[in-house]
Structure 1
Amino acid sequence: MTDDREYKRLVWHSRRGMLELDLLLVPFVKEAYPSLPEADQARYRSLIECEDNDLFAWFMQRSRPEDPDLARIVDLILQRVQPD
């Protein structure tokens, strides 16, 4: 039950109020998050604690996170919307 509650919290916090972020984060948390390895799930949980302005800059590829863990999860999310 705690896992279900935690997952619902993640879905809720993935809604950022900025359409560009919502379109990336909500589908990612619903479709990809459950199958991620635990380390990447932890990275995502850290990511959603970041400021919207930082997230927007990272996802619009205007800058990169300094933290390599955050950079990895940003890359995973971007790969879902920009496959090679």
Structure 2
Amino acid sequence: MVDSTELNRLFWHSRRGMLELDVLLVPFVKEVYSSLDAEDQARYRKLLECEDQDMFGWFMQRGEPEDADLKRMVRMILDRVQPK
């Protein structure tokens, strides 16, 4: 179970000030993060440590992370918003 203090902290770290990232990360942390297992929660926190420009490229599908954990998290976030 994730406590409200941690969720609040993650919410603010998910707000990057770049609209393209904010519309992906903020809803993800609000709606999905709590239901993730501990490993995926750690992957999300690791993603938040990345540079905005790197994340922008990954989420715009102009590249992908070399790190398998980051690649998994980027794919998980994109799968939520892309039509099937």
Q: For this structure pair, what is the TM-score category when the shorter chain's length is used for normalisation?
A: over 0.9
| 1:14 aligned partner, one-letter code | S
Partners of 2:36 and 2:83 lie apart in 1 by 17
The CA distance in 2 between the partners of 1:17 and 1:41, in whole Å, is 22
Q: What one-letter code is carried by the residue in structure 2 that aligns with 1:69? A: D
Distance 1:78 1:38 in 2: 20
**Structure 1 residue ranges (4+ consecutive) displaced by more than 3 angstroms after TM superposition:** none
What secondary structure, in the 3-state scheme, does the structure 1 residue paired with 2:3 have? helix
Same amino acid, percent of matched pairs: 69
Which stretches in structure 2 are left out of the alignment for 5+ residues? none
Q: Provide the alpha-carbon RMSD of the alignment.
A: 1.2
Q: CA deviation at 1:5?
A: 1.5
Query: Residues 2-81 of structure 1: matches in 2 within 5 Å?
Result: 3-81=3-81
Aligned residue pair count: 83
Gaps of 5+ in 1: none
